[in-house]
A and B are shown apart, each in its own frame.
Chain A
Amino acid sequence: MTTNPRVRDWTEAELDVPGELREVVRAPAAVLSAVGDVVDPTSPDVVRLAADLVATMRVSPGCVGLAAPQVGVGAKVFCVDVSEHPKTREHHGTFVLCNAEVVSGSRNEKAREGCMSVPDFTGDVKRPSRIVVRGQLPGTGEEVELEAEAFEARALQHEIDHCDGLLFLDRAAGAHAVYARKTYL
């Protein structure tokens, strides 16, 4: 797998606006179940949203990604940073994508997921562990395509699902694959 240098070198400093903290909404908020709007990645509102997502992710314990619907905005924008996570292999550091989609995926693996917007449950979800994702960078609006694997691939798919109005609960691996959460971060 090769990382995309443009994405890997991207940081929120490129946005050139200070990120502000936003409140994270929880299911059953309607915005979490709605397909997010396609956005103009160059618009000032989207740039501000991107900065706010990164800022909110940074202050949330254990958080490796945050999507716009999770802060109450029905838009296809999310941020990811898995660089500090022990399960991470290759990664792209911190980045934000707009209007992202999974182009291809392979090698399904099952893992138990948790989500800040569904704090009382965890659930087993099967997802491809190697994917290709296409999206646009906020600010410049450049189209980028990147390969991701392992934990970064899972995080990306979880966030892209949020932008499509899907929670991990929608992908539960079976009737007995959702669990009451026992420990909270």
Chain B
Amino acid sequence: MTLHAITVLGHDRPGIIAETTGRLAGLGLNLEDSTMTLLRGHFAMMLVCEGVVPDVDIEAALAPLTADGSLTVTVREVPAEAVAPASGTSWILSVHGGDRPGIVSAVVAVIAGVGGNITDLTTRLAGDLYLLVAEVDLPAGADVSALERDLVGVAGDLGIDVTLRAAETDEL
């Protein structure tokens, strides 16, 4: 199994995803996981696809996307990653407050300090309001009360609000 990590970044317009995925399908590549969003209006897509095709051939197939200079494409072969079921617990971290430098680094340092792993993260700035929402895996046995205290402490220093709540799943 050969995996390729591909990024497409740049000026947004209708049809980028259709053109990108059409060209990948034309090479016989199979899209596996992908994510796409707009970051301050810029198109940003990352995907992992599978297929025995050299990276240079993928770059060549996607070259028309970059021809007018509005998009940047990168292609890189990556190894398969084994994802073991986590033994810990899942949490949702929400942070919001007045924008200032260093909010993300200060908050996520607290998470990293207890061995927490962020598996999904979105930050947004609208006017003066800064927002961070993250999915966090905490290791089994983590002291969640102590972590919450530390987060509240950091948030207090920054003048922002922070909430950590369990990402419970209703099994139906």
Contacts and interface: CB of A to CB of B under 8 A. Distances in A.
Interface of A: 62-65, 87, 111-116, 122, 151, 154-155, 158-159, 168, 176, 179-185
B167 interface: yes
Given A179-B135, A180-B83, A185 B171 contact: yes
B18 interface: no
Given A176-B120, A179-B120, A182-B137, A154 B170 contact: yes
Interface in B37-95: 37, 83, 85-87, 89-90
Interface in B122-141: 122, 135, 137
Interface residue SS majority, chain A = mixed
B143 interface: no
Interface residues on B, range: 10 to 19
B168 interface: yes
Contacts of A181: 85, 169
B172 interface: yes
Max chain A CB contacts within 10 Å: which of B83, B89, B119, B172? B172
Interface string B134-172: 010100000000000000000000000000000111111
Given A62-B171, A87-B170, A114-B171, 13 more contacts: A63-B171, A112-B168, A113-B170, A114-B169, A122-B169, A151-B170, A154-B170, A155-B170, A179-B167, A181-B85, A182-B86, A183-B86, A183-B89
Max chain B CB contacts within 10 Å: which of A63, A64, A168, A179? A179
A183 B172 contact: no
B172 A154 contact: yes
A51 B161 CA distance: 51
B32 to A, nearest CB: 12
